[in-house]
Amino acid sequence: MSDSPIALEHHLEPHQQHHFVDMEQQKHAASLGMWLFLATELMFFGGMFCAYLIYRWSYPVEFGVGSRTLNLPLGAANTAVLICSSLTVALSIRATQMGKRTLTVVLLLLTMVFGLTFLVIKGFEWNEKYEKHHIPGASFRLSAEDLKGVNVDPQQMQDFQARTQTFYSLYFAMTGLHALHMIIGVGLFLYLTYAAWKGQYGPAYYTPLENGGLYWHFVDIVWIYLFPLLYLIDRNLQK
């Protein structure tokens, strides 16, 4: 910061908003703002993780049953897809830092492709759940196949099936909210790709891209936790 009073009418750099003293202040403000927003997102998903923790602790067998009915190959594939998308985001920012506009745009497009791929695979999974009557509600039921490997007293079966719905409720709530964040992310990146293609970002200024990337990585991290917590409960019992 300079030592002399800063006059009202000062030279504004490109992209600089008037209430900031200089671009560095603006960039630091934007970055802190995005990190704080991610902190709120952590608490937002965190509430559901709390529900998950309590119910998994309370109903471990039911959760195991539910988890084993999820499509593990698709879940693992989706995890890999998101990891690839984080790579392309990181590389796109690097490309911008080096002034390579075309490469930036290509990588951003790839990121969105990966994001959409994730959503399509998620759609298949949800459809599979629908067809197997695993959506909580009146038509929910577990098949004999689903209950393989678990000994449930026939008299308790109805209650057991009822309680298993807590797993699926959380599955849909958590993956649903995560998917919503993916959709928002793809929308955000549509805008960022367009702006990058228009040449708005370069080595001197790429703050929106950087902050968009932070959001995208956060959504990836949520899935990194969702995958083992939802898909990998007592998988060894399937043998």
Partner 1 sequence: MATTANFTAERENYLNANYGVRSWLLTTDHKRIALLYLASITFFFFVGGFFALMIRLELLTPAGDLVMADTYNKLFTMHGQIMVFFFLIPSIPATLGNFLVPMMIGAKDLAFPRINLISWYLYIIGGTLMMHCVLTGGVDTGWTFYTPFSTAFSNTKVIEAGLAIFINGFSSILTGLNFVVTVHRMRAPGMTWTRLPLFIWSTYATSVIFLLGTPVIAITLLLVVFERAFHLGIFDPNRGGDPLLFQHLFWFYSHPAVYIMILPAMGVISEIIPCFSRKRVFGYNFIAMSSIAIAVFGFLVWAHHMFVAGISLYSALVFSALSYLVAVPSAVKVFNWTATMYKGSVTFSTPMLYAFGFIGLFTIGGLTGLFLAALGLDVHVHDTYFVIAHFHYIMVGGAVMGFLGGMHFWWPKISGKLYPEAWGRLAAAIVFIGFNLTFFPQFVLGYMGMPRRYWQYPPEFQVLNVLSTAGSTILAVGYLLPMVYFTWSLRYGKPAGNNPWGAAGLEWQTQSPPTTFNFDEIPIVTQEAYDYENIPAPEEVPLER
Partner 2 sequence: MSSEKSEHSDHILPSGLYWGIWALLIVLTFVTAWVANIDLGRFNTVVALVIATFKASVVVLFFMHVKYTSEKLTKVVIFSAIFFLVILLSLSMADYASRLMN
Residues that bind partner 2 (CB under 8 A): 13, 22-24, 27-28, 31-32, 35-36, 38-39, 42-43, 46-47, 49-50, 53-54, 57-58, 72, 76, 79-80, 83-84, 86-87, 89-91, 94, 97-98, 203-204, 210, 213-214, 217, 220-221, 224-225, 227-229, 232-239
Q: Tell the smallest beta-carbon distance from residue 133 to partner 2 (Å).
A: 25
Instruction: Please name the amino acid found at residue 9.
Output: E
Taking CB under 8 A as the rule, does residue 133 contact partner 1? Answer: no
Residue 97 site contact among partner 1, partner 2, none (CB < 5 to 8 Å, cut-off depends on kind): partner 2
Taking CB under 8 A as the rule, does residue 169 contact partner 1? Answer: yes
Residues 91-119 as b or e (16 or more Cβ within 10 Å = b): bbbebbbeebbeebbbbbbbbbebbebbe
Cα 20 to Cα 4: distance, rounded to the nearest angstrom: 16
Query: Are the beta carbons of 168 and 70 closer than 8 angstroms?
Result: no
CA atoms within 13 A on the CB side of 212: 26
Cα 92 to Cα 112: distance, rounded to the nearest angstrom: 12
Taking CB under 8 A as the rule, does residue 149 contact partner 1? Answer: no
Taking CB under 8 A as the rule, does residue 165 contact partner 1? Answer: yes
Q: For residues 26 and 92, which CB has a smaller minimum distance to partner 1 in the complex?
A: 26
Residues 159-178 as b or e (16 or more Cβ within 10 Å = b): ebbebbbbbbbbbbebbeeb
Taking CB under 8 A as the rule, does residue 44 contact partner 1? Answer: yes
Q: Tell the smallest beta-carbon distance from residue 138 to partner 2 (Å).
A: 29
- Per DSSP, the three-state class of 167 is helix
Q: For residues 97 and 117, which CB has a smaller minimum distance to partner 2 in the complex?
A: 97
Q: Tell the smallest beta-carbon distance from residue 202 to partner 1 (Å).
A: 23
